[in-house]
Structure 1
Amino acid sequence: MNFLWLFIKRLKLFRVTNKCDGFTLIELLVGIVIATLVITPLLGFMINIMTTERQEQAKADTEQEIKAALDYIARDLQQSVYIYDADGINKIRQQLPKNKDNDKNKFFPVLVFWKRQIISKESSKMEKDIFFYSLVAYYLIKDNDSTWSKAARIGRFQIRDGYDSTEKKNEKLQRDKGFQMFNIQASGNLKSKMNQWTKKKDEAYTQDIVALVDYIEQTTINDTTNPAPPSCTIGQQLPQFSGSGDAVATKNVRTRGFYVCVDSENTVAEIYLRGNALARLQNNNIDFNENNKTYFPQASIRVQGNGFLSAK
């Protein structure tokens, strides 16, 4: 009898305890609402922090690449002996790659120059230094190639002369297809002589335009949100944004992402670059405007060529 009484008492106690440990449906709903009100702002805050961090990292990466590209171009340009200005590019554009009408809106030769490269006798282990000439062209490219970003990029083209050492048979550099030396003995001043240059007849280029840096700003020049840059303090400006001829940038390459000011007479150039950090974060391109300009880092450098050519 006592055992039955004890069993019933324990059963009642179990039911009471079980009832006290649970939650009603209303209590669960209230808890969910409170949790939602607390967690949602926290999630939004965390997403904002992560988005800002990604944008700042993209900006830092773009700034670093812009600086590295400028340093590379500057080192290249320091070996220049002649830099083409707007008139010069207009004259020789047909001799450079991507000169057809369907390419001119996608590939623009912003910076074109001749340079003199020297191989020292110490590095080549020969009796004397060896030098050879090269023609170099830096292009602004916006061709919608899926390999690259939706922004623009800069590409580099080079053709060079060859040399053949008499001291060492293995010291030989083949002339690139299409290369032909400028004629310093032609009539006229130095500018007119260099503007008469033509590629080697009946030889197709085998060198490609090789990408140097991606994520270059490609917002089309307009009169309101993205006007053309101011006039140069030295020489002439490339690309030109109005007028006619092969020195004028059109359509996709009509942008402030990459342009130069050139003083051919003194072999001086100022290079300007503007990147697009936001293009790193999404597939579609975002144009430049004053509200997001912090994510379009820009930099410039002024370079003096090391050599010169005489018109005589």
Structure 2
Amino acid sequence: MKTLLRLLLKSQHQRNRSGPAQIDKGMTLVELLVGAIMAFLIITPMLSFVVDMLNTDRREQVKSNTEQDLQAAVDFIAQDLSQAIYIYDNNPALTITATTTPTGIPAITTQLPSVSNGTPVLVFWKRQQITNAVPINNAITPIKCKEAANKGKCNDTYVLSLVAYYQIKETDPKSIWCQPSGGNCPTRIARYEIRDGVRKPDPVAADTNLPYYNKADTDEDTQQPDPAFNKDFDFTKPTQNVTLAAGLTQATSGATKPQVLVNYIDHSSGPILTPCTTALGNPTNPKTSTAIGEPTLKVTDTEGRNSFYACVDTARNIARVTLRGNSLRRLQANDAEFKTTSSAYFPTATVQVQGFGAVGK
């Protein structure tokens, strides 16, 4: 019994000597506040840096896309122009006189498709190859030339095409061509073509569709002329009989559906670029040996902007085409005007092409 009491007293004495039990404590409110402030001071600059990096990367990507689009557009135009046999300049003469010869777009404007808010900037005639289209003999009709059984029984031929590149200003802020939606919509470039049909080399009196093959015997999409094509067109009078009707609309022109070549072409007042006289080597009129002025050489939109224009020397069948894009308009609706400080976001692409030959060559 005594032993048990001693053990109890000894254990109680040890507990009393060990002091009060340790209690785990959390962070005080002051400590939490200090930690939050420190985290804010560290994380906020990091977040700002990350956001800035993402925005910069996005801008650079959009700028790169715009540059690629412009380069693809000028490459397409260059290939198209390489087949040109006559290119219209901006000669303001409308009628033939003792001192003037109409050679420019102003003399044929009413004969081109009427496009809402659109201006023809580059217009030319080209020679286009139509493969496997003319039967060697009358045993088969052109529509059957592509059949496997008639392989080698038809020849290739060439047809004329009138090609026009328009600069179109979008005015609808909700249009797919004006995104992000808002004011200051960009312009786009669209291509129109009015093509001749395959002409019959051996016409007979019974033919009802001269100088072409009868419609029932041909492929209407590739071998028949577009409704607006004027078979009486003569290169010695390039501004007459260009098409069959005046004031053509897109619906009635018979032109192929417009092919939008590129969008986000700048529509602000950009820098003054190299004059056409300098770019084309100061060309002269071959008849008078006088210098051709800038107003005749340069074809641009009705507002005279430099975002899409052509320098044309009709006599030498040369055209120099320049495009200026607007990368900022892909990102924002407002404050997307050209500025010297943001010129890097307004890339420019230029190409100069001489047609494969002049008329009669």
Is contact 2:124–2:162 with CA below 8 Å preserved after alignment?
yes
Q: Shift of the alpha carbon at 1:164?
A: 5.9
Does 2:112 correspond to 1:96?
yes
TM-score (norm 1): 0.79
Give the structure-2-normalised TM-score: 0.69
Contact 1:108 / 1:140 at 8 angstroms: preserved in 2?
yes
Q: Structure 1: how far apart are the matches of 2:53 and 2:78?
A: 37
Structure 1 spans left out of the alignment, 5+ residues: 241-247
Aligned residue among 211, 222, 229 for 1:179: 229
1:213 aligns with 2:262: yes
Question: Residues 103-252 of structure 1: matches in 2 within 5 Å?
Answer: 103=116, 106-121=117-132, 125-145=152-172, 146-149=175-178, 150-163=185-198, 169=217, 173-181=223-231, 183-184=233-234, 190=236, 193-201=237-245, 204-207=252-255, 208-220=257-269, 226-227=271-272, 230-233=275-278, 234=280, 236-239=296-299, 249-250=302-303
SS in 2 for 1:86: coil
Q: Distance in 2 between matches of 1:39 and 1:200?
A: 70
How many residues end up aligned between the 2 structures? 281
Deviations 1:208-235 (A, max 9, x none): 43311011111146xxxx4475343336
Structure 2 runs not aligned, ≥5 long: 92-103, 134-144, 147-151, 179-184, 203-212, 284-295
**Residue 97 of structure 2: aligned partner:** none
- Cα distance change, pair 164–194 in 1 and its aligned pair in 2 (3 A): closer
State whether residues 266 and 325 of structure 2, in contact with CA within 8 Å, keep that contact through their aligned partners in structure 1: yes
- Tell me by how many angstroms 1:285 deviates: 6.0
- Distance change in 2, residues 1:195/1:63 (3 Å): same
**What secondary structure is seen at the aligned counterpart in 1 of 2:297?**
strand
The residue type paired with residue 126 of structure 2 is K
Report deviation, 1:117: 0.7
Question: Alpha-carbon deviations, 1:93-145, whole Å to 9, x = none?
Answer: 0111226xxx4xx2110100000112345996444321111100001111224
Aligned partners of 1:182 and 1:194 also within 8 Å: no
Higher mean C-alpha deviation, range 256-265 or range 114-123: 114-123
Counterpart of 1:178 in 2: which secondary structure? coil
Find 1:35's aligned residue among 33, 39, 45: 39
Q: Which deviates more, 116-125 or 165-174?
A: 165-174
RMSD over equivalenced CA pairs, Å: 3.3
2: distance between equivalents of 1:37 and 1:62?
38
